[in-house]
Amino acid sequence: MRSTRFFFLAIVALVVTVFSGSCRAQSQPSAQPQAQTQVQSQSTPAAPQPVAPNYALAGVRYDYRWETYGGFAYSHFNAGPNLLQGANLGGFDIQGARFFTSRWAAAANVRGYYGTSGVVPNPYNIKGPFVSEYMFLVGPEYRGPSNEHGSITLHALVGGAYGNFEHDIGNVPPGALGLFSNQLAFGMAVGGSIDLNRSPRLAFRISPDATFTDFGSAGLKDQFAISVGLVYRLGKGLK
């Protein structure tokens, strides 16, 4: 459950970062007339300074049919049912979403995580073997608060997770090291993303998730994952 708490804290931090920034940007013009009034009362009137418009974000809208995403990913993963030392894995996160309205979309997601894992003390002198996990997920996506600066999207994705835990252990039984056996299991990712717009079509994305897998004897395990990368919007506008 600790990873789930990290997930919610990350979501709150991302929301505060984007929308507090946009609120400051919107509140700045209101302070300008007060400053000009004080100057006028003390000296000769000063000509107002022109504010350059932000042409890069002027055309941001949320009516594209498709969004594609690719980025670098991290996951804190338990490669065995009772291992005290988790595995810190790095990899990739690729997603495509088809929007049917400006809010709702169907998403498909592929993730790959790679790294080494701790094991229990063993007579084989095996320490830190290589492990990997792949997730193949689909599900609904909902776009929440949005403006020209950024948007927040929530998703609930389900599918399969394939874990490879025997790559480096030869003929040693994985159970003797506290590892799972290689298998395809249930996988799920519940979370969201925050997109920081860089142009009408391009955005920088930060996407934290609580991921769940069921590799057998341990039951459903919750983990923390996050990825960062780029979103590109394409397709004709929604009607």
DSSP one-letter string for 184-226: EEEEEEEEEEEEEESSSSEEEEEEEEEEEEE-STT-EEEEEEE
Can you give the pLDDT at residue 146?
94
**18-27, 88-97, 124-133, 158-167: which range is least confident on average?**
18-27
In a domain, 159, yes or no: yes
Q: What is the CATH number of the domain that holds 191?
A: 2.40.160.20
Q: Say yes or no to pLDDT of 23 above 70.
A: no
In a domain, 51, yes or no: no
SS3 label, residue 21: helix
Each residue's pLDDT tens digit, 31-72:
444 444 444 445 555 556 655 555 667 788 899 999 999 999
Residue among 217, 215, 224, 153 at smallest CA distance from 182: 215
In a domain, 40, yes or no: no
- Report the range out of 5-19, 60-74, 78-92 with the highest average pLDDT: 60-74
* Both structure tokens of 3: 């990873």
Residue among 198, 226, 184 at smallest CA distance from 93: 226
Instruction: Count CB-CB contacts under 10 A for residue 23.
Output: 11
> What distance in Å separates the CA atoms of residue 196 and residue 193, rounded to the nearest whole number?
10
- Given the structure tokens 């997603």, which residue do they identify? 95
Give the residue with greater pLDDT, 10 vs 216. 216
Can you give the pLDDT at residue 48?
62
In a domain, 30, yes or no: no
Q: Say yes or no to pLDDT of 93 above 80.
A: yes
Which residues pair with residue 156 across a beta bridge?
Answer: 190
In a domain, 35, yes or no: no
* Both structure tokens of 60: 């941001």
Contact 135, 111 (CB under 8 A): yes
Averaged pLDDT, 216-220: 72
Instruction: Count CB-CB contacts under 10 A for residue 116.
Output: 15
Q: Say yes or no to pLDDT of 228 above 70.
A: yes
**Count of domains forming the chain:** 1
Each residue's pLDDT tens digit, 112-138:
999 999 999 999 999 999 999 999 999
Amino acid at 5: R
Q: Say yes or no to pLDDT of 226 above 70.
A: yes
Residue among 179, 198, 75 at smallest CA distance from 129: 179
Q: Say yes or no to pLDDT of 232 above 90.
A: yes
Q: Say yes or no to pLDDT of 28 above 50.
A: no
Helix (H) or strand (E) holding 16, with range, is: helix 2-42
Can you give the pLDDT at residue 39?
42
In a domain, 151, yes or no: yes
Our CA angle for 158, 179, 89, nearest 5°, is: 60
Model pTM? 0.78
Contact 150, 18 (CB under 8 A): yes
Q: Say yes or no to pLDDT of 225 above 80.
A: yes
* Both structure tokens of 183: 């298998």
What's the domain range around 216? 2-17+56-237
Can you give the pLDDT at residue 82?
81
> What distance in Å separates the CA atoms of residue 126 and residue 50, rounded to the nearest whole number?
67
Can you give the pLDDT at residue 157?
98
In a domain, 121, yes or no: yes
Can you give the pLDDT at residue 60?
87
In a domain, 63, yes or no: yes
Give the residue with greater pLDDT, 13 vs 126. 126
